[in-house]
Amino acid sequence: MLILGLAVASFLAYICILALLCLADSLETRTRRAQPVIQRVDPFATLNIAQAFDPTYGALWEAPIRALDCLSSAGATGIPISRLYPIFREAASRFPEIYDGYHFQEWLQFLESNELIHWCGQQVTLTRQGREFLAHRFTTEPLARA
């Protein structure tokens, strides 16, 4: 009799687990439908400054670092925005799968949102954080390669 009771109890537990899994699946499906569909994925939305030190992402940071280096050599007055466009265009031709649908203005906004540059009208200057980033990156990069 004890074995029959255990068999019935385990069968009922199995049915309860199946019912809970079905409930969880339906709730998850409902949640997925409620979320908005993203039309366009921003290729630089997940790119962060820490990745500039990682060799895997180094190629993605090559163009921004060249732009920051160009701004650094210009001094406090900065440079006209048009001098950065060739750097962007070269990176876009080198990595078309990343830069596809991505415009120069968005690239500048990415640098500005990371507080590396200050963009005002047609003039772009390097921020204090941008200078610190360049100094830190170039003093630690040789150590990373060793």
- pLDDT value, residue 8: 92
Q: What residues does each domain of the chain span?
A: 1-35, 50-145
3-state class of 123 per DSSP?
strand
- pLDDT value, residue 51: 58
- Whether the pLDDT of residue 142 is over 70: the answer is no
Contact 81/124 with Cβ under 8 angstroms?
A: yes
- Helices (H), ranges, the chain: 2-34, 58-74, 85-94, 96-99, 104-113, 128-145
Residues 117-134 have pLDDT tens digits of 998 889 999 999 888 888
Specify the CATH number of the domain 50-145.
Answer: 1.10.10
- pLDDT value, residue 121: 87
CA angle at 33 for the pair 28 and 37, rounded to the nearest 5°: 125
Nearest to 116 by CA among 79, 69, 81: 69
Q: What is the DSSP letter of 25?
A: H
pTM to 2 decimal places: 0.57
